[in-house]
Amino acid sequence: MTAIPAAEWREHLDTMITGLRDTGALTDPRWIEAFRAVPRHVFTPHLRDSEGRDIDVAEARQAWLRRVYQDDSLITAVTHEPGLGTDVPTSSSTRPGLMARMLELLQLREGMRVLEIGTGTGYNAGLLTHRLGACHVTSIDIDPTLIEDARCRLHSLNLAPHLLVGDGLAGVPDHAPFDRIIATCAVPGIPLAWITQLAPGGAMLVNLRGEIACGTLCLLSKDATGDDEVIGPFLGIAGHFMWARHDPARALPYGIQSTSERDQTRTTTDPGTVATIAHDVANPDFRFLVQLHIRGIRTLAAPPGQPVPTTIHAAATDGSWATAHIATGKVAQGGTRRLWDNLCAAHTLWCALGQPPPTRFGVVATPTAQFAYLDHDRNWTRWPLPLL
């Protein structure tokens, strides 16, 4: 991309930074300086409009710059996912406000070594490199094209962190240990490599999630003794990153099994129960517990096109599914699990626990076991990980 004169983009960048400071997302003077020194537009030369068409930068440069410097995520790459029969985003430029909050949560100090999982456009690696220096930043991505593009963009700003093509789920053992690990991709559980490659006293910031709820960034720390255990809370910060994956050609970390309609069962339950659950289906706190309680759930919603919802539909990666009719209480479900029964149990538990938000949960992960817990890690109200 042809370099754009600073006079054309500096005002947009200053406006973005002012907005981030006003919302409290960006407070540290050292990070403010990093955001000023690393212009975002360098890392987003190819954007798509709402219909998935490439935007011609030459035709609409100012409109493009206004969009780049808004506090929004920008999709920069997609791939076709056979299991869904549609295109799924595989790379983006993360919303600057979220990125700023995550970087400040790392509480970085001079000399710290950082591993970024998911290079993407290279923008976050650029911010980290400006803050810490190139020799202290390692970033890895499964997609060689993304790495090559990121390297060129970073070099144009005289930034040269260690960029590697590889499976980020395996970490980067040759550069370990790391004082901090930041994952700009989502995982259903904590990879063992991240635990073992984290230095004693280190911390990792991870988007641990399933398919039906976000707001699940968690900050996990390892104590100074060096035991291979990380522990920490889920944060009240919305994050829904794209999946980390072993295969650059795939967007999802799982396959989707199918179930024959002949395997279904039909029952009638209390319409009041269905209505109560229908009322809570959109509640993010309930959805968070559901994805802990029902492993592999990937859909929980009223089907589109219903101005007033009449049914609830749930489906899981193993092909299990359920549809409940709100007015009549009639339920159809099929597959290896009775998903509606599981959903009712999750709702009963959520109510019994006082309808807890994600901030009441945390994670413990070791080389031999990992689980999410409620309130404190000694509580036996817990759920095994991974979620998928």
Q: Which residues are catalytic?
A: 93
The number of CA neighbours under 13 Å toward the Cβ of 316 is: 24
Element (H, E) at 277: helix 271-280
What would you report as the CA-atom Rg of the chain, rounded to the nearest whole angstrom? Answer: 22
Cβ atoms of residues 383 and 184 within 8 Å: no
Cβ atoms of residues 42 and 153 within 8 Å: yes
Distance set, CA 345 to CA 63, 80, 276, 290 (Å): 50, 35, 13, 9
| CA angle at 365 for the pair 109 and 119, rounded to the nearest 5° | 50
Helix/strand/coil for 325:
strand
- Closest by alpha carbon to 201, among 107, 81, 92, 73? 107
Reading the block at residue 190, the tokens are 């904590």
Reading the block at residue 264, the tokens are 């279904």
Distance set, CA 111 to CA 16, 83, 179, 336, 385 (Å): 29, 44, 9, 52, 33
How far is residue 259's CA from residue 335's CA, in Å, rounded to a whole number? 6
How far is residue 6's CA from residue 15's CA, in Å, rounded to a whole number? 14
Reading the block at residue 375, the tokens are 């309130």
Q: How far is residue 61 CA from its own chain's centroid?
A: 30
How far is residue 286's CA from residue 350's CA, in Å, rounded to a whole number? 7
How far is residue 197's CA from residue 170's CA, in Å, rounded to a whole number? 10
- Closest by alpha carbon to 220, among 372, 388, 355? 372
Cβ atoms of residues 178 and 198 within 8 Å: yes
| CA angle at 148 for the pair 142 and 154, rounded to the nearest 5° | 115
Element (H, E) at 162: strand 162-165
